């Protein structure tokens, strides 16, 4: 919302959700037309070995960078949670993001990633979804209680901002699931197009509702101060947000293994003929997790990671490849009514990918990782402390707010 502008951001979020829904179904239809059961074999059937290698690279790149971003998030959020524990000072090892990333990776993420069957994470995914709803409740509550006490930035509510293309990249990153769609489709009890379409509609609509709620409430609270990681905006001593950070960290930890499944499958298909022995399964998993963890230790800014992953990997997976495969395999002319929409999505994806990459490099998001925002400073906290009574707030000098700005 900050990058796109609030009204345009809402429209773009709906558009990206629609394209996601349409292209996921298009992808499985293309697989049925080609008689294939994996994303790689579909692209191989449509565009040969060159397309197969390009897709394999993108299918590896997207979830791998997602794993990096999840590690960054866990380091950002859990360090603040640990600092709320009595006796844990800012200089403590539990407040060191690199140590926290290593700890969560070794104790939780790696063991979960060693599962061989993605269906084993079904209950884990359901639990993660429940936690996401609980986090949303906290964000909505803070939008109502904290938001009115944080001054809006200039031009906070204009229709559009110049970085809208970068926003599309981040939104696409949030919605893309094409890299594991065939895995999930194959795990259904009744893998049919109709059943898949119904599941996709419900899933994407629910994801849109959750994403829209987070986006609207988060941006309405912080406007131009909004960070790439929303929880970086809240004050460290906010107890409700501390609970939200803890739940958010658990959600990220539970999501991490699903992305690892995809990266491991790509490597297995590309270099091991599709099946990994137990020893290679362990070795490949450890190498992937170690590489993602190593990179996440070196980068602290989440925004640029999301943008680059969105335009370089997510956009081709959502916009370009499903549409291109369908158009290639379909016997209908590109001028046919059924082919017009895939053509439009294909062209849009190419433009978003090129322009988004250029803008992400030239105009990267600002990052204030680990820094308390101005409204959290001790001299200002009395104004923005949402536990203050209304009478106390009304009794304070109204000229204090512009003075601190």
The tens digit of pLDDT for each residue in 273-291 reads 777 888 999 999 999 999 9
Q: Which residues of the chain have pLDDT under 50?
A: 381-405
Question: Which residue do the tokens 């009890």 mark?
Answer: 189
Q: Cβ neighbours of residue 54 under 8 Å, at least 6 residues apart?
A: 43
Instruction: Say what the pLDDT of residue 270 is.
Output: 83
Please, what is the Cα angle at 230 between 225 and 235, to 5 degrees? Answer: 75
Contacts 24+ apart (CB under 8 A), 140-143: 140/213, 140/217, 141/240, 142/217, 142/221, 142/234, 142/238, 142/240, 142/241, 142/386, 143/217, 143/218, 143/220, 143/221
- Counted residue by residue, the chain has a size of 405
User: Contact 321/46 with Cβ under 8 angstroms?
Assistant: no
Which domains does the chain show, CATH number per domain? 6-372 (1.20.1740.10), 375-405 (no CATH)
Q: From CA 32, how far away is CA 42, in angstroms rounded? A: 9
- The residue written with tokens 């070794």 in the block is 106
Long-range pairs of 98-103 with CB within 8 A, sequence gap ≥ 24: 98/297, 100/74, 100/75, 101/71, 101/72, 101/74, 101/75, 101/293, 101/296, 101/297, 102/293, 102/297
370: left (phi > 0), else alpha (psi -120 to 50), else beta? left
* Two structure tokens written together for 186: 């194959």
Phi, psi of 221, rounded to the nearest 5 degrees: -75, -45
CA distances from 402 to 28, 163, 208, 380, 395 (A): 56, 28, 37, 12, 16
Collapse the DSSP code of 266 into the 3-class scheme (helix H, G, I; strand E, B; otherwise coil) and give the result. helix
The encoded tokens of residue 38 equal 């994996």
Neighbours of 158 (CB within 10 A): 11
Q: What is the pLDDT of residue 365?
A: 67
SS3 67: helix
| Radius of gyration from C-alpha coordinates of the chain | 22
| Separation between Cα atoms, residue 256 and residue 252, nearest integer Å | 6
Residues 6+ apart with CB under 8 A from 310: 168, 169, 170, 171, 172, 173, 356
Tokens read off for 261: 């499944």
Angle in degrees, CA 277, 279, 283, rounded to 5? 115
| Angstrom distance (rounded) from CA 246 to CA 201 | 30
d(CA 59, CA 55): 6
C-alpha distances in Å from residue 234, one per residue of 138, 155, 356, 373? 11, 22, 28, 8
Q: Is 98 exposed, middle or buried (0-12, 13-18, 19+ CB in 10 A)?
A: middle
């Amino acid at each position: 919302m900050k990058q796109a502008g609030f009204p345009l951001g809402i429209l773009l979020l709906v558009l990206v959700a629609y394209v996601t829904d349409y292209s996921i179904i298009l992808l499985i239809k293309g697989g049925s037309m080609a008689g294939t059961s994996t994303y790689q074999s579909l692209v191989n059937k449509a565009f040969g070995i060159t397309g197969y290698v390009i897709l394999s690279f993108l299918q590896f790149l997207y979830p791998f960078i997602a794993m990096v971003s999840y590690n960054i998030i866990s380091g950002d959020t859990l360090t603040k949670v640990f600092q709320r524990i009595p006796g844990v000072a800012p200089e403590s090892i539990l407040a060191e993001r690199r140590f926290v990333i290593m700890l969560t990776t070794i104790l939780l993420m790696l063991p979960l990633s060693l599962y061989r069957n993605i269906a084993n994470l079904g209950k884990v995914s359901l639990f993660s979804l429940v936690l996401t709803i609980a986090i949303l409740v906290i964000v909505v509550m803070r939008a109502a209680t904290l938001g009115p006490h944080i001054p809006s930035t200039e031009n906070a509510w204009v229709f559009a901002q110049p970085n809208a293309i970068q926003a599309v990249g981040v939104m696409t990153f949030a919605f893309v699931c094409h890299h594991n769609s065939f895995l999930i489709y194959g795990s259904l009890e009744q893998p049919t197009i109709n059943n898949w379409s119904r599941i996709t509609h419900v899933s994407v609509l629910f994801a849109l509702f959750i994403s829209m709620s987070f986006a609207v409430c988060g941006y309405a609270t912080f406007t131009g101060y909004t960070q790439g990681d929303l929880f970086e905006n809240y004050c460290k001593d906010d107890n409700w947000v501390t609970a939200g950070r803890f739940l958010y960290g658990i959600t990220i930890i539970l999501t991490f293994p699903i992305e690892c499944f995809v990266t491991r499958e790509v490597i297995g298909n590309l270099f091991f003929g599709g099946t990994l022995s137990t020893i290679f399964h362990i070795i490949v998993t450890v190498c992937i997790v170690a590489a993602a963890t190593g990179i996440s230790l070196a980068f602290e800014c989440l925004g640029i990671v999301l943008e680059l992953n969105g335009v370089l990997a997510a956009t081709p997976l959502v916009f370009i490849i499903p549409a291109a495969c369908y158009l290639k395999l379909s016997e209908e002319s590109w001028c046919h009514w059924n082919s017009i929409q895939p053509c439009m999505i294909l062209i849009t994806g190419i433009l978003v990918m090129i322009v988004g990459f250029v803008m992400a490099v030239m105009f990267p998001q600002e990052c204030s990782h680990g820094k308390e925002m101005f409204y959290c400073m001790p001299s200002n906290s009395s104004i923005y402390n949402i536990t203050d009574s209304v009478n106390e707030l009304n009794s304070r000098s109204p000229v204090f707010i512009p003075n601190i700005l």
